[in-house]
Structure 1
């Protein structure tokens, strides 16, 4: 049993490191093929690293590259993650950011186009896919992700407001550095980045599930074997057509768990009526896997 667990952990580690490498390639493509040629700023710490590069190029005798700046700016956040989240999370985050910095440095810019709208859209899409892929595989890309997790654990609140304020400063900086049209282009890139990331990373997209079945125990056992979720049971429901007894089950899952739910229902009761709808917000405890 211990050998099996070690094998699983090793497989998971290889998967996460491989994902970190893929993320590094994708963010370097976004940076060197689109953002840099188009004078577009990214969001979060990556955008701040770009800003540091621009400022040092223009006002200092030396230049701090975006690759180096990205890693150095994340160092305090690595320490925060090590102390407040978990050692494993901090290590994988460090590997991911190092891969991104290395790939940005190694992959030389290719000027496919300098059209700022094209660069904003495609750069945002490529980076959003890379970030979503990393999050989906249980690794963080550093930056404000770490701060968001710490704040959420301490206060129960998201980092949304801080994130928006930080990115607003990046957009304003783009306006001062390259002209106000470029602030608008950078804002377009941020929106595209967020949308593609949401499409790729579905773990935080919550769904309410209502199941009407005449085999409640079998369904509950099957779901809880596939997914770690609580289920609320409503007994003595009645079908209007045949007037037979039914049980209604309610649960909340993430969209990431949708395939597991479908497998559980196929195994337990493929004749059950299942209704699934998107949720705007959940109050109270909702289990999230540890990072």
Structure 2
């Protein structure tokens, strides 16, 4: 029955592992970094922290309760498999949030900005692990996923927009300083989320315009053992046909590209930009 619903059984247990890992990382960030500084986190976790600060109700309890209507909304727009994983993640996250308080690990930092930055960094890693492996913590992550699937909006940007109102309320109830520090923490978290979603740019996209096209191409093929594609172009001013050399290389190989151009054609036009999630011969998509 498990295999008929989730497909490959090994995929299910692998995803479950990353759900536990991601929720564990996020819970560690919230309990050990954000709470000691009186900061919030994104989404319903942030609302849960506000409830705890005001009433003493554990965040894990309020997060689980607040997630229930979100699960109903997600059931109408997202596939059942994703929502099942989201429900599992919500339950696990709520449980770990409560259990994490029992772990006697405390960090003594005099500056709340350090709590905000490192808490956001760790929280973003946890969220990135979840999203990269087809899961989330439920809550506003479900809304962000709906925005991504229906409107093709960036997940991190979507969550930042949704959370703006939460931060505004928190700043009014508590203090502007805590609200601003929370913004710093969330910015770092969602930057990390997007980085893990897209990759860290270990590969570079290279475009070269040179009068010595054949020699440059041969050197890249022989020295770097990288494939090269010739894009047919034309100079807008001269109307002269000119191929553009296009290739993907590892970051450490960029210096070799520059060395080749210095030796063959120092006047060549070179563009280097980030390339995310390159998959194909010679490259493999990295997994977190």
What TM-score bracket applies, with the shorter chain setting the length?
0.5 to 0.7
Q: Secondary structure of the equivalent of 1:26?
A: helix
Q: Which residue of 2 aligns with 1:32?
A: 31
Q: Which structure 1 segments of 5+ residues have no match?
A: 58-62, 215-231, 238-244, 266-291
The count of aligned residue pairs is 228
Q: 1:98 to 1:204 in 2, by over 3 A?
A: farther
What do residues 154-177 of structure 1 show as CA deviations (whole Å, max 9, x unaligned)? Answer: 445567776444322232333234
Instruction: Quote the offset at 1:247 in angstroms.
Output: 10
Q: Which structure 2 segments of 5+ residues have no match?
A: 218-228, 235-241, 248-273
Q: Secondary structure of the equivalent of 1:166?
A: helix
Deviates more, 1:95-104 or 1:159-168: 159-168
Q: Residues of 2 paired with 1:209 and 1:85: CA distance?
A: 38
Aligned partner (choices 169, 181, 187) of residue 183 of structure 2? 187
Tell me which structure has the larger Cα radius of gyration.
2
1:91-130 to 2 correspondences below 5 Å? 91-108=84-101, 110-113=105-108, 115-130=111-126
Q: Which residue of 1 aligns with 2:194?
A: 198
Instruction: Quote the offset at 1:234 in angstroms.
Output: 6.4
Q: Residues of 2 paired with 1:86 and 1:175: CA distance?
A: 36
Q: Residues of 2 paired with 1:174 and 1:140: CA distance?
A: 24
Match status 1:83 vs 2:79 = no
Q: Residues of 2 paired with 1:76 and 1:6: CA distance?
A: 23
Q: Residues of 2 paired with 1:234 and 1:118: CA distance?
A: 48
Q: 1:106 to 1:40 in 2, by over 3 A?
A: same
Are the counterparts in 2 of residues 132 and 198 from structure 1 also a CA contact under 8 Å? yes
Deviates more, 1:25-34 or 1:196-205: 196-205
Q: Which residue of 1 aligns with 2:226?
A: none
Q: 1:163 to 1:130 in 2, by over 3 A?
A: closer
Q: 1:139 to 1:210 in 2, by over 3 A?
A: farther
Q: 1:209 to 1:48 in 2, by over 3 A?
A: farther
